Amino acid sequence: MNDVTTEHLQGRADPRLDEIMARLDEYLAADPDLSFQVAAFHDGQPVLDAWGGPHMAEDSVIVPYSVTKNTIGLSVGLLVERDELDLDERVAHYWPEFAAKGKVRVTVRQLLSHQAGLPQATPPLTQEELLDHHAAAERLAASPPFWHPGSAFGYHAISIGSLGDELVFRVTGRTLHEFYEQEIRGPLGIDFFLGLPAEHESRRVDVLPMIKPVSDTSQPVFSALGPVVFGSRAGVEQANSPRSWRYGHPATSGTGTARGLARLMAAAVTGVEGTEPFLSANTVEQVGQQQIRGYDEVLHQQDRAHAIVFQKPSQQLAFGGPRSFGHDGAMGALACVDPDTGLAFAWTIARGPWPGGADPRAVKLARDLGILLSS
């Protein structure tokens, strides 16, 4: 990669990406407040590593909200790779207490693709329970599903982190945090943490609140389940809470860089810098395969699609080809990988654009990079 320094942008890029770098520079020039990191690997080699804006530096770490869910999907993938977890086995086979309240037939596949009907416990989980490796999972296991499992799906926005954590614990005897740290993050040098270590706290930057345009007079529309699932967990308070990022909930509050996230996705699917990927092509196919698509019972949105934990491309989230997968975050971040093009991509941002979800600029960059570098 070549060093790139302009009035607004710093970083390194493959020479083929001159137009992409110019585009990034234009984004920064047009919005003096915009602050992001962007990184990409192609066939395991770094091709883009850039940053700009007043709120983020090269090594700044930030909470990218649900982009953190990629750690669940890849940890589960590694257990599938090792034949320690069967996606078509009943969850209760590994976790007997989960069978309560009519959930005895729920499969791991259904649980991890938002079909189990457990986007929230009954009564709703407290913050204290969520920031505990077992308390939230115990409550979810004892709760009745909101729909007959398998009959519908709805975004298990926060609960899937607690459910995935407990499932990994039941299979391995280690929390998901421990498994991810010992088997993936540590050995591969991934700059993305579930629970930010004290020695990295000086690098952390806050997520900044989105700004609603004055011209936007629309009112949010929710399903009946939306307020039950999300409650008062809105805004940037959760991402900026020391309790939250020191714990590192695997659904919402991991902390790291775009460089670390892109490396994570690449290490799983293509390998990085000459190493073998930690997931075989067969496992990538299994965890990256679409499981459901359509109406989301929680978000009240059409054309939502999920693989095993991961999001799949949709009209609103067209980050790659049909075999690509990844996850966006509520405040603008995105990390994804496309096995067909060999592109792994990540974008972190301090202040995402209204109304939230993946920054459209990031979605277009991921798609365009895949096309450009594979042509």
The domain containing residue 278 runs over which residues?
Answer: 2-62+189-209+254-374
DSSP 182: I
Task: Check if the beta carbon of residue 348 is closer than 8 Å to that of residue 55.
Answer: no
Please list, in sequence order, all residues whose beta carbon lies within 8 angstroms of the beta carbon of residue 213, skipping any fewer than 6 positions away: 354
| Token pair in block for residue 36 | 């992001």
Confidence label for 235 from pLDDT (cuts 50, 70 and 90): low
pLDDT of residue 358: 97
pLDDT of residue 238: 80
pLDDT of residue 233: 58
Please state whether beta strands 45-52 and 192-193 pair in parallel, antiparallel, or not at all (unpaired): unpaired
Percent of the chain residues past pLDDT 70, beyond the cut: 99
Same domain? For 77 and 173 the reply is yes
∠ at Cα 272 (316, 14), nearest 5°?
Answer: 70
Same domain? For 305 and 161 the reply is no
Same domain? For 357 and 267 the reply is yes
| Domain C-terminal end among 177, 201, 221 | 177
∠ at Cα 360 (160, 300), nearest 5°?
Answer: 45
Same domain? For 370 and 278 the reply is yes
Same domain? For 195 and 323 the reply is yes
Q: Give CA separation, 135 vs 33, 141, 304, in Å.
A: 40, 10, 29
Task: For the beta carbon of residue 6, count every other beta carbon within 10 angstroms.
Answer: 15
pLDDT of residue 215: 87
Asked if the structure places residue 153 within a domain, the reply is yes
Same domain? For 161 and 201 the reply is no
Query: What does the chain come to in residues?
Result: 375
pLDDT tens profile 70-123: 999 999 999 999 999 999 999 999 999 999 999 999 999 999 999 999 999 999
Please state whether beta strands 192-193 and 36-42 pair in parallel, antiparallel, or not at all (unpaired): unpaired
pLDDT of residue 89: 98
Q: Please tell me the distance from the alpha carbon of residue 299 to that of residue 13, in angstroms, as a whole number.
A: 37
Q: Please tell me the distance from the alpha carbon of residue 145 to that of residue 351, in angstroms, as a whole number.
A: 35
Same domain? For 271 and 159 the reply is no
| Token pair in block for residue 57 | 């530096």
pLDDT of residue 364: 98
pLDDT tens profile 316-348: 899 999 999 999 999 999 999 999 999 999 999
pLDDT of residue 237: 77
Average pLDDT, the chain: 96
